[in-house]
Structure 1
Amino acid sequence: MHSLKLTLLALCLVAGLADAASQVRVVGLFPGAAVISVDGQRKLVKVGQTGPGGVVVVSADSRGAVLRVDGVERNYSLSREYSDGFVEAEKKQLSIAKGAGGHYWIAGSVNGQSVQFLVDTGATSIALNDGHARRLGIDYRVVGRPLQVSTASGTVRGWQVSLDRVKVGELEVLGVEAVVLEGSSPTDALLGMSFLSRVGWRVEQDVLVLESKY
C-alpha cells in the first residue's frame, strides 16, 4: 500500500509539471529575446536570462525560441494563446484630443517610470534626450549602440536602445526600440512609430485613437 501511494504521488507530480509546462507561451519574438507568458504573467526575457516560473530563454530570433522549462529544452513558436480555452479579451482603446500647438500629448511610462510623450508619427522610433534617459534610469552608454542621427539642427550623436516596457493608458508594448540623443533635443519625449506600429492608430475628427491589435 505504501508503495502504491508513492507511485500515485509521483504520477501526480509528473502530471502537475506537464500541466505547468502547458501554460508556457511565447507571445513575442525579437533577436536575442522573447516575450514569454507563464500562467498569464508576461515578461520580456533576453537570451541567457530567467523569466517567470524559472523559465530560461536559451535562444530566440524572429522564427521561434528555445526555452528551458523544468530543466528540459523545447522549441516554441509564436503563440497568442495563453492557455487552453482562453477567450480573447476586448481590445483596449485610448482616445487623445488634440492639444496645444495642434499636437497630441499623452502621459505614459517607460520601464515603470512616468513620462510625458509628444506623439510623433514622423519619428521612426521613440526619441529621448540624454536628460530624459538619465531620469528614466536608462544607462544608454552601456546598453546602447552608438549611431549618428540627422536632425533639423544637424547631425548629433545618439544611442539605439531597447526599452523593456512602454505603456500609455492601458496599452503596453514590450521590447520597444528607442533612440537617446546627446544634448537637450528633442525637448519632449517623442512617441514614434516603434511604439505606434505595434498598436493600431488612426485620427478621427482631430482625435487620435490608439487600439491594441489583440
Structure 2
Amino acid sequence: MRHPLVAAALLAALAGTAAAQSVSLQGTLGDSKAVLMINGAAHTVAVGATVKGVTLQSLQGGQANVVVGGKAMALSLGGSQVSVGAAGNAGGNSIVIPASTGGHFFTQGAINGKTVRFMVDTGATMIAMGRTEADRLGVDWKSGRRGNTATAGGNVPAYLVNLTRVRVGEVEVYNVDAVVVGADMPDILLGNSFLSRFSMHRDSDTMRLERR
C-alpha cells in the first residue's frame, strides 16, 4: 500500500502540472532569446528551450511562437497574457494586460478573426472604432443604426453594429455591441460592451479581467 504522505505528494505534483499557465512576451534579445512573463515571473528563454513548461519555438518581428501544455500559440510583444489550462485547453477565463509607459492599457486581439490592437477604455460605453478600421475588418457599418457621437472635432455620425466575435488573448466573447464613428481613430477602444462581461482588478501597472 502506498504511504499516504507519498500519495499526497504525488497528487500535489500532478495538480501543479495540470494548473493553468499564464504567459506573455515582454521583450526580445535579437532573434535568439525572448523575455517571457510566465505565471507572473520574468524568464529569459532561448529559441528551442523550455522553461516552466513553456517552449519557445521561434522568434521573429516582435512575435514569439510558443508551445504551452501541448498547445501552439503566437505571442505579440507587449500583448496581454495568455492563460492555458490543463491538457492544453485554452483557459478562456482570464486576461492580464500590462500598462504601457504612458499608463494606458493596450492589448492585441481580434475582431471576427482579424488582428487588431485595443486600448482599454473603461469610460467607453462599447467597443468603438473608425470607419477605415471597420472597413478593414469587414464590419458592415452602413447597415447599422445611425446616430451621432461627440468628438474633439464636434459631432460626427456613428453607427451601432454587432460584432460576431471579439477575442483578447485566449478569451473569446460573442455578439458584442460596437459603434463605428465617422472619423478615423488611432486605436480601437475596448469599451464596456466587452469589459462588463468580466470582473476587473487593477494592481499598480497590471489589469486583470476575470470572466463573470
- TM-score when normalising by structure 2: 0.55
Distance 1:101 1:191 in 2: 17
Indicate how the Cα distance of structure 1 residues 91 and 146 shifts in structure 2: closer, same or farther if over 3 A, else same: closer
Higher strand fraction: Structure 1 or Structure 2? 2
- 2:155 pairs with 1:170: no
Compute the RMSD of aligned alpha carbons. Answer: 1.6
Contact 1:159 1:180 in 2 (8 A): yes
Q: Percent identity?
A: 44
Distance 1:98 1:170 in 2: 19
Contact 2:92 2:172 in 1 (8 A): no
Distance 1:179 1:160 in 2: 5
Matched with 2:211 is 212
Distance 1:120 1:202 in 2: 14
- Trace 1:92-131 onto structure 2 (pairs within 5 A): 92-131=93-132
The amino acid that maps onto 1:132 is E
Q: Deviations over 1:18-55 (max 9, x none)?
A: xxxxxxxxxxxxxxxxxxxxxxxxxxxxxxxxxxxxxx
Number of equivalences: 123
Distance 2:171 2:96 in 1: 11
- Trace 1:130-141 onto structure 2 (pairs within 5 A): 130-141=131-142
Q: Deviations over 1:75-118 (max 9, x none)?
A: xxxxxxxxxxxxxx977212111103210000000011110001
The amino acid that maps onto 1:170 is E
Contact 1:126 1:195 in 2 (8 A): yes
- 2:192 pairs with 1:197: no
Q: Give runs of ≥4 in structure 1 deviating > 4 Å.
A: none
Indicate how the Cα distance of structure 1 residues 157 and 110 shifts in structure 2: closer, same or farther if over 3 A, else same: same
- Trace 1:156-167 onto structure 2 (pairs within 5 A): 156-167=156-167
Distance 1:158 1:183 in 2: 9
Contact 1:171 1:211 in 2 (8 A): no
Distance 1:139 1:145 in 2: 11
Contact 2:158 2:179 in 1 (8 A): yes
Matched with 1:26 is none
Unaligned runs of 5+ in 1: 1-88
Higher helix fraction: Structure 1 or Structure 2? 1
